[in-house]
C-alpha cells in the first residue's frame, strides 16, 4: 500500500526508480522492492524518499492511512529499536505513563 503510493507520486513527476535511488544513495533494487511491497519502509527511509521526490512525507502516505495507524507504526518502530533486554522496561514505562495520564485525558462525548 505504501510502496504503491510512492510509485504513484514518483511516476506522476516523471521520475525513475534510478533517479530516486541516486538521490538517496541507495541501489535501484531497494526502491523497486519498496514500491512492489517486498520491503517495509522505516519512518527515516520514508523521509529520505520524500526528500528525493521533493514532497512532504504526507504526500507519500496512502489515503487509507489514518493518523492513529501512523502513530502506532512509529511507536512500534521505536520500541523494536531497543534491545530485547530493554523492551520489558520500556513497555512498563509506557503502561505506567498511560495509567498516570488516563484520568486527565478528555472524554469523547457521544
The tens digit of pLDDT for each residue in 48-99 reads 999 999 998 888 987 766 677 777 878 888 888 899 999 999 988 888 887 7
Cα dihedral across residues 75, 3, 50, 65: positive or negative: negative
pTM for the full model? Answer: 0.61
* Position with higher pLDDT, 31 vs 73: 31
Give yes or no for a contact between 59 and 9, defined as CB atoms under 8 angstroms apart: yes
Helix (H) or strand (E) holding 95: helix 87-101
Number of other CB atoms surrounding residue 34 within 10 Å: 22
**Higher pLDDT among residues 9 and 63, named by residue:** 9
Q: What is the per-residue pLDDT for 72?
A: 80
How far, in Å, CA of 50 to CA of 56, rounded? 6
Amino acid at each position: 500500500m505504501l510502496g504503491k503510493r510512492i510509485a504513484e507520486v514518483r511516476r506522476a513527476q516523471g521520475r525513475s526508480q534510478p533517479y530516486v535511488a541516486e538521490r538517496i544513495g541507495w541501489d535501484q533494487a531497494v526502491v523497486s522492492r519498496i514500491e512492489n511491497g517486498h520491503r517495509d519502509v522505516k519512518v527515516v527511509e520514508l523521509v529520505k524518499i520524500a526528500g528525493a521526490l521533493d514532497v512532504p512525507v504526507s504526500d507519500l502516505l496512502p489515503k487509507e492511512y489514518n493518523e492513529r495507524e501512523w502513530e502506532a507504526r512509529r511507536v512500534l518502530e521505536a520500541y523494536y529499536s531497543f534491545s530485547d533486554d530493554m523492551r520489558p522496561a520500556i513497555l512498563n514505562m509506557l503502561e505506567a505513563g498511560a495509567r498516570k495520564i488516563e484520568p486527565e485525558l478528555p472524554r469523547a462525548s457521544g
